[in-house]
Structure 1
């Protein structure tokens, strides 16, 4: 009944047919849209549209952009959806010299790589090459250079297999304040029978320092105050092994300086 009136079956049939037609049309439209979406996705994944177009790299100092791009293995032929971020981050970190690496993807086709490198603390000289030494004691042999560097101290007269001493030098240098660290030109390993950690340090101001790696950073941080107390323009050797003693290069005597 409709509004108190009896509606015949013949009157209702057209309405039922219309409802079924609309329902069928909606279903058809949905299937067509789904099919179209699938086709678009297939075309996208198979076409250059899904390939990496841009790689953004931040935080790098030891390695150049080109180095890290090559290490990542990503090219313009790489499908952005095939990149496994965690695996790529581990791959970059395992390359050496990096504390961490983070990989993210920005739609539609940009890969972002952010790295945090260990600090380059010195150069290890061996066979006319200068190998970067990091603060954690690792040496980057693949970053060796033949030209004498100027942005970090140079370590000489030590065998590359002496890992313990090399690591110790890296640790001690990383503890120094910038004013002292930047004043160091060279460090030569000069062990003695009484001290396997003995080193001779050549300063940029022309002085030499005799010290032990066992107390290197603790005593070397006082170097500026020691120089200030000497009250002389003469250059010489400052012995920091026991107390603080100064001996000018052209003097036979010694001048004691309180640390």
Structure 2
């Protein structure tokens, strides 16, 4: 028994090389770690001091109504600016102050590029005002200070409307229409009658005319595609939506049809 126990004993002389080797490995790992940190620090210092840390490119996407140059100007960003001074939330807030911007997102792309992505409010109409057009946004805001010289091709033109109850009613009614119906309208004329001061006349892109009252316009206009589908495509005329729905062809002796409200 004594002999077996003595055979398992490892002398200090035998353990010393192994201990030295373990200590050497630990020291090497520490040295590598310190050198890596030092190298990383040098790289960071060089990056901060070099042009690589300055904004080189600013890209804009999602814009249609606003030019990219205008959005960049309002963002407060500029090329050459230190990218580490970029406050994304602050830049997004600045851009969202523009009346036609619904939301803005700013992202940094390594090493020195910035991407601005915006979502704009749709223009549901423009108000004809002498030699310019005043945009009306989908949120109901009327941009009186931003008259444009040309009308957007897809937005209906409001003619004869002045600021007040009638215009507000018109805007609220347009907001309730699906875009496919909204953009099928070419013009909306305010044509009050003695019996109805809310009367309007619409000229459609398909060549038809619609006579309606703002009091029931949005509810009845939703059925416009269904009404038109029942008419002869070769005949154009006036669709009266004031009471039920009634069609009168422009052609003398043309077909006239009448439907009760809710039918068709």
1:172 is matched with which residue?
173
Tell me, yes or no, if the aligned pair for 1:59 and 1:114 is still in contact at 8 Å. yes
The alignment of Structure 1 onto Structure 2 pairs a total of residues equal to 243
- Whole-angstrom CA distance in 2 between matches of 1:198 and 1:45: 66
2:63 is matched with which residue?
60
1:15 is matched with which residue?
none
- Asked if 1:108 is matched to 2:111, the reply is yes
Tell me, yes or no, if the aligned pair for 1:226 and 1:258 is still in contact at 8 Å. no
- Gaps of at least 5 residues in structure 1 are 6-18
Tell me, yes or no, if the aligned pair for 1:121 and 1:173 is still in contact at 8 Å. yes
1:258 is matched with which residue?
259
Tell me, yes or no, if the aligned pair for 2:126 and 2:151 is still in contact at 8 Å. no
1:183 is matched with which residue?
184
Tell me, yes or no, if the aligned pair for 2:58 and 2:79 is still in contact at 8 Å. no
Instruction: Give the 5 Å matches for 1:69-80.
Output: 69-80=72-83
1:119 is matched with which residue?
122
The alpha-carbon deviation at position 96 of structure 1 amounts to 1.3
- What do the CA deviations read for 1:39-90 (whole angstroms, capped 9, x no partner)? 6544433432211122232222222322222221211122111111111111
- Whole-angstrom CA distance in 1 between matches of 2:67 and 2:184: 27
Give me the TM-score of the superposition, normalised by structure 1: 0.74
The alpha-carbon deviation at position 148 of structure 1 amounts to 4.2
In angstroms, what is the RMSD of aligned CA positions? 3.8
CA distance 1:29–1:235, change in 2 (3 Å): closer
Alignment match of 2:90 (pick from 79, 82, 87): 87
Give me the TM-score of the superposition, normalised by structure 2: 0.73
Instruction: Give the 5 Å matches for 1:1-259.
Output: 3=11, 40-140=43-143, 144-159=147-162, 161-162=163-164, 164-192=165-193, 194-231=195-232, 233-249=234-250, 255-258=256-259
Tell me, yes or no, if the aligned pair for 1:138 and 1:167 is still in contact at 8 Å. no
Local SS of the residue matching 2:84: helix
The alpha-carbon deviation at position 185 of structure 1 amounts to 0.8
- Whole-angstrom CA distance in 1 between matches of 2:39 and 2:207: 77
